[in-house]
A and B are shown apart, each in its own frame.
Chain A
Amino acid sequence: MATPVTVMVVEPDVLIRMSISDFLRECGYRVIEGVRAEDVWTVIESKVGLDVVFAEVQLSNEDTGFQLANKLRQTQPGIDVILTSGIADAAEKSSDLCEQGPLKKPYRPQQVADRIHLLLERRRSAPKT
């Protein structure tokens, strides 16, 4: 089997990261999960072959997805960079990516977004202790 297309999802919120990653795996992608810009460089240095970086714009107080995207576009022209801002945007763009993916699942962005909102709501309403 050919090496699967490899996407790195960089997203500080664990439930959003988990949902998007899970979804993209269902679409046939190999997905690597990260939280910070430096995680992307660790993967690039490992030379596993990264095809797409799917990153939230708001990574942390110091990092932004824009800085990461700029640096990637300058130094890694073979890597597609997709920036997202918020859940609806991430759902939309991951659905687009899925349509181009190996398994071409016909998911609507709303299904992806709904799933994320459900998980976030459960986390929010879980007892705090």
Chain B
Amino acid sequence: MVDQGMPSAQQQQEASKKAVLIVEDHFYTRWGAAEYLRQSDYRVFEAMNVAEAIGIMNSGTRIDIVFSDINMPGDQDGYFLAQWLEQKHPAIPVLLTSGDPRNSGAQAPGPKRRFIRKPYDPVEVEQILLSMLA
């Protein structure tokens, strides 16, 4: 709603928040992370798979950081999303996560890529996001 005419004070405040895109197929996990980050004053967007995440990115919605699961249903996983973002939106940091012990985030190296294992403490997630946005 932010680009419709004169923004209200509330809209301006909303627009000044950092925007995180959460990509996670498990409903309860996504909901929990989203609620926590909203309460921590992030603007939160929710995608349940890589196709939805790319849809949000392609809609021109401003996203400052992506927090994505690695294994998700569909043709593409979190590593694919990280690579896609590297090409299309190289400034956006990505925090990857997984409960699968085979995943360590090693397939997405670089200064704007980090990994946290599931189950995660949302407080720690927030600290990592903050450090990546600094």
Contact = CB atoms under 8 A, between A and B. Distances in A.
Interface of A: 14-15, 18, 22-23, 26, 32-35, 38-39, 42-43, 46, 103, 105, 107, 111-112, 114-115, 119-120, 122-123, 126
Nearest to B32: A46
Interface in B1-51: 1, 4, 8, 10-11, 14, 27-28, 31, 34, 45-48
A109 B107 CA distance: 45
A126 B28 CA distance: 31
Given A26-B10, A26-B14, A122-B58, A34 B1 contact: no
A120 B59 CA distance: 7
Contact of A115 (B1, B47, B48): B1
B56 interface: yes
In terms of DSSP, what is the predominant structure of the interface of chain A?
Answer: helix
A35 B48 contact: yes
Contacts, number: 52
Contacts of B127: none
A111 B3 CA distance: 10
Contacts of A123: 55, 58-59
Nearest to A8: B31
B27 A126 contact: no
Given A111-B1, A115-B4, A14 B34 contact: no
Q: Which 6 A-B pairs have the closest CB atoms?
A: A126-B58, A14-B52, A119-B59, A123-B58, A122-B60, A123-B59
A127 to B, nearest CB: 8
A33 B60 contact: no
Interface residues of B, number: 21
A34 B8 CA distance: 28
B27 A15 contact: no
Given A14-B47, A35-B48, A122 B27 contact: no
Choose among B1, B10, B52 the residue with the greatest number of A CB atoms under 10 Å from its CB.
B1
18 contacts: A14-B55, A18-B46, A18-B56, A22-B1, A26-B1, A26-B11, A32-B31, A33-B31, A38-B27, A39-B27, A46-B28, A103-B10, A105-B8, A115-B1, A119-B61, A122-B58, A122-B59, A123-B55
Contact of A33 (B4, B34, B56): B34
Contacts of B48: 14, 35
Contacts of B11: 26
Contacts of B1: 22-23, 26, 107, 111-112, 115
